[in-house]
A and B are shown apart, each in its own frame.
Chain A
Amino acid sequence: MTRYIVQRLLLLPALMLVYSFVIFVIIQAPPGDFLTSYVATLASSGSSISPEQIQALRHEYGLDQPFFVQYLLWLQNILSGNLGLSLEYQRPNADLIGEQLALTMALALMSFVITWAIAIPAGIYSATHQRSVIDHILTVINYIGVATPNFMLALILMWLAFAYFDVSLTGLFSPDYADAPWSLARVSDLLKHLWLPALVLAIAGTARLTRIMRANLLDELNKPYVTTARAKGMAEWRVVLRYPVRLAFNPLVSTIGWYLPALFSGSLIVATVMNLPNIGPLLLRSLINQDMYLAGGILLIYSFLTIVGTLLSDILLAALDPRIKMES
């Protein structure tokens, strides 16, 4: 087990290296470089910059170097913790990302909790009351939940709230707290705003998880050990919760690691629609404005989270089910 974990951990930097290269290729792909858009930004705001200054800047940022040298420079900067300067915001990228990373994580974690809190009981109920009215209703809700793109759901909720209750559901803070320093009051204000986007984000995952839980549990409920437990006179709810539920759980727990990164990625669209302070909208803006090093930094963080997530789920799976061979 330890050997397996160490092996995987050793592989992590190698993977990150591959991704960093792929990401660099992608962010370099659009025509022009970061100074072309900088000059365009300056021109649109009315000021100008002399060709000599551009040349000097190009040299300073290493933009006159060949592609691989630029990549190595970028990599070197990242390794020393320098993600570069955002062109649009004129601030270090690390600061920009750092500010919103915590809120991004909070959103993902909250919708994760909501998903499990709803899906597991719903799945258990559906499986133990197969073909009951509620089971059918849950199935219908699940199908619709999977079929609705989450930005649609966000749009519909925001529109209903705006049109019928005159409430604006955008942002994560009330105006009073938007720029206030952290305090207990601010945290409670955050929680008041966080649950709705978290719920929107959780719906599709909840639907999927409920279906998996239901199917897994149905498989287990037909096994002889359940009959044995019943025959021994155990209370029905104890029979179910004690044995089959635990077994039905295993495959789900092992996917936690995949689920969290998927939430980070998924929150990108919902956060854009609902105007949340999240690294998703930041990425989108940076891609549209060709703020390349900011985009590169955010993409690296997404990749890192995804790899760590995959690693976690593999380890969890191996720990939960010793029958899985680690070496193969």
Chain B
Amino acid sequence: MAGTQTSAAAVGAGVEDRIAVASNWTLVWWRFRRHHLAMFSAAVLIFLYLIVICPDFFSVQDPERTDARQAFIPVQSLHLFDDGGLAPWVPAIAGKRNTVTLRMEWTKDPQRRVPVRFFARGFEYRLLGLFPASIHILAPVDPAQRIFLLGSDRLGRDQWSRIMYATRTSMTVGLVAVTLSVILGVVLGGISGYVGGKTDQVIQRLIELLQSVATIPIWLALSAALPRDWTPIQVFFAITVILSLVGWTTLGREVRGRFLALREEDFVLAARLAGCSRMRIILRHMVPTFLSHIIATSSLAIPVMIINETSLSFLGLGIRPPAISWGVLLQEAQNIQTLALAPWLLIPGGLVIVAVLAFNLVGDGLRDASDPYSH
């Protein structure tokens, strides 16, 4: 009895010791790890960013391949087993024109199966934009066959593949816009808080001005003002800049507040007396103390950016075709009659919800973990 108690105490002391010597980041990680939902969401995000890195590999077909005769094909579900063995297939689809509505009606043909293989060869692409490759996560055995895992749109394009490419655009927009906001917020907020005086006044008034802007209408107007002949890449960067213009203000305020509080701390004074330059004091001594907080705040800002990009593109004023983003895909679902006919066009919206949810949960987890000394 006494023995177990001592060993328990020893273990307890061991944990205490580990906590005492653990770095700040280790503590943050330990605390974040306890948040199961946040850990799960982080895994979801990592998976989504894998798609961002190589959407070509995850897509089944060329996302731009159109075929008017294969419009509005419903979801073909993937079956893994055939005759007791692992032999993936999707049911074949047979189309018949309705003599009254003159619309193609697609039915599953139970007799025919389209065999598919994992990691098989499909259309050619460049992995990471560099290496020519043709391996895809899934491809039909017969290259002449087309399969539509998430249905097809009005031009007969494969929605699954389009979603993969859209994921790359939308997830990148969020990340780039937030990175820009963080840079602006930290630099301007830092200057405002550290220098103080007139500079502080000017930056504070600028933040107030930007914060009292009617965001969505102004965003719309700015996006509408983008020249029509810009390339998708130019539009993409313009949209991210527009999104981050307002986004940085909240962070700027927070950083300024932290700087004001930290400026008087002893360790800053010590650094100054030791002869550190102003830049070194800010970057080496002050920023690390609230870096985890900045990361948490930014991970909560990404989903807002994603929703905004999706809304702008949905209204036709954001990312423009031929570029593909979640909002661009949802534009196809704008018409209720179309939607009643092809409800699977709403699937990209489901992905928006999943991504935003995952970012919010990870952000909440990070925020709780960002101050590991609190209880």
The yes or no verdict on A and B being binding partners is yes
Which A residues are within 8 Å of any B CB, using their own CB? 15, 18-19, 23, 26-27, 29-31, 143-144, 146-149, 151-152, 155-156, 158-159, 162-163, 168, 170, 261, 264-266, 268-269, 272-273, 283-284, 287-288, 295, 298-299, 302-303, 305-307, 310
A269 engages B315 (CB within 8 Å): yes
Q: Which of B182-228 contact A (CB under 8 A)?
A: 209, 211-218, 220-222, 224-225, 227
A189 to B136 alpha-carbon distance, docked (Å): 55
Given contacts A143-B361, A151-B311, contact A303 B213 (CB under 8 A): yes
Main secondary structure of the interface of A (DSSP, over half): helix
B314 engages A265 (CB within 8 Å): no
Inter-chain contacts of A287 with B (CB < 8 A)? 220-221, 224, 317
B357 engages A143 (CB within 8 Å): yes
A284 to B219 alpha-carbon distance, docked (Å): 11
Taking the complex as formed, is B270 at the interface, i.e. its CB lies under 8 A from any CB of chain A? Answer: no
Taking the complex as formed, is B122 at the interface, i.e. its CB lies under 8 A from any CB of chain A? Answer: no
Main secondary structure of the interface of B (DSSP, over half): helix
A159 engages B357 (CB within 8 Å): no
Inter-chain contacts of B307 with A (CB < 8 A)? 149
A158 to B334 alpha-carbon distance, docked (Å): 11
A265 engages B336 (CB within 8 Å): no
Inter-chain contacts of A30 with B (CB < 8 A)? 224-225, 227
Taking the complex as formed, is B177 at the interface, i.e. its CB lies under 8 A from any CB of chain A? Answer: no
Min Cβ gap A180→B in Å is 25
Min Cβ gap B368→A in Å is 12
Which residue of chain B has its CB nearest to the CB of A295?
B221
A305 engages B352 (CB within 8 Å): no
Q: How many B residues touch the partner, as a band?
A: 35 or more
B357 engages A147 (CB within 8 Å): yes
Instruction: Determine which of B221, B311, B349 lies in contact with A27 in the assembled complex, contact meaning CB atoms within 8 Å.
Output: B221
Taking the complex as formed, is B333 at the interface, i.e. its CB lies under 8 A from any CB of chain A? Answer: yes
Inter-chain contacts of A158 with B (CB < 8 A)? 336, 339
A269 engages B311 (CB within 8 Å): yes
A310 to B215 alpha-carbon distance, docked (Å): 13
Taking the complex as formed, is B88 at the interface, i.e. its CB lies under 8 A from any CB of chain A? Answer: no
A159 engages B343 (CB within 8 Å): yes
Contact with A along B337-360 (1 / 0, CB 8 A): 101100100100100110011001
Inter-chain contacts of B340 with A (CB < 8 A)? 159, 162-163
* 20 further A-B pairs in the complex, CB-CB below 8 A; given A147-B356, A269-B311: A23-B221, A26-B218, A26-B221, A30-B224, A143-B357, A149-B307, A152-B330, A155-B346, A159-B339, A162-B337, A264-B214, A265-B215, A269-B216, A283-B221, A288-B224, A295-B224, A298-B217, A299-B217, A302-B214, A310-B211
Residue pairs across A and B with Cβ atoms less than 8 A apart, 7 shown, are: A15-B209, A27-B221, A29-B225, A152-B330, A170-B336, A287-B224, A310-B211
B353 engages A283 (CB within 8 Å): no
Instruction: Determine which of A146, A152, A307 lies in contact with B352 in the assembled complex, contact meaning CB atoms within 8 Å.
Output: A152
Taking the complex as formed, is B161 at the interface, i.e. its CB lies under 8 A from any CB of chain A? Answer: no
Which residue of chain B has its CB nearest to the CB of A302?
B214
B353 engages A261 (CB within 8 Å): no
B314 engages A15 (CB within 8 Å): no
